[in-house]
Amino acid sequence: MPVTFGKPLYSKAEIQKRVQELGDKISADYKGESLLMVGVMKGAFVFTADLARAIRLPIFVDYLGVSNFASRSKGRGAVRISSDLNENIAGKNVLVVEDIINSGLTMEYVTKNLLSRDPKSLKVCTLLDKVEKRRADFKPDYVGFTIPNHYVVGYGLDYQDQYRNLPYIAVLTEE
């Protein structure tokens, strides 16, 4: 299927500004504390790196690989951890960093799993929140942008593992 994307939904400058605002808010919320950022791979790698630079705290960064098979199964879908953390999160402030939350099923699974590991605190920061697709009762703590139900690419988000390197976020359309 040939695909196209037009004018950016969010420009590089708009994303940078919002990431800095999120970094300022997170820095204020965790003032005097250290923070373990957990980037959800692969899509959140760009956002995680930029957000880490925007946070003015001692931070540690780790990554979690998660697979969601909701599109291939009926019902609530199957979520599994495909690559686990290297860090022990017990007693630490943990911030899960996600690129986009659609149904909420993946983040519901991830947060339950991580909470079972006894962190001091656990919050979720997502760049994009697609609320109208929500199937789980999940609300992130920090949201970059709330977007309508469009398929988006760029800034780490992909279509068939392409377009992650775009410096902006655009709506993907079929030709």
The reported pTM is 0.91
**The pLDDT value given to residue 111:** 97
Helices 45-54 and 12-29: crossing angle, nearest 10°?
60
**The pLDDT value given to residue 76:** 55
**The pLDDT value given to residue 74:** 47
Q: Are 27 and 57 in contact (CB under 8 A)?
A: yes
Q: Any residues with CB less than 8 A from the CB of 36 and at least 6 apart, and which?
A: 59, 60, 61, 62, 87, 89, 92, 93, 94, 95, 119
> DSSP 3-state assignment of 140?
coil
Q: What is the 3-state secondary structure (H, E, C) of 24-88?
A: HHHHHHCCCCCEEEEEEECCCHHHHHHHHHHCCCCEEEEEEEEEECHHHCCCCCCEEEEECCCCC
Calpha distance 17→152 (Å, rounded): 19
Q: Is 60 left (phi over 0), alpha (psi -120 to 50) or beta?
A: beta
- Is 65 exposed, middle or buried (CB count within 10 Å of its CB: 0-12, 13-18, 19+)? middle
Rg of the Cα atoms in the chain: 16
Go through the domains of the chain in sequence order and give each one's CATH number. 3-174 (3.40.50.2020)
Per-residue pLDDT for the chain (175 aa), expressed as one digit of tens each? 567 776 799 999 999 999 999 999 999 999 999 999 999 999 999 999 999 999 999 999 999 998 876 554 444 567 888 888 999 999 999 999 999 999 999 999 999 999 999 999 999 999 999 999 899 999 999 999 999 999 999 999 999 999 999 999 999 887 5
Calpha distance 60→57 (Å, rounded): 10
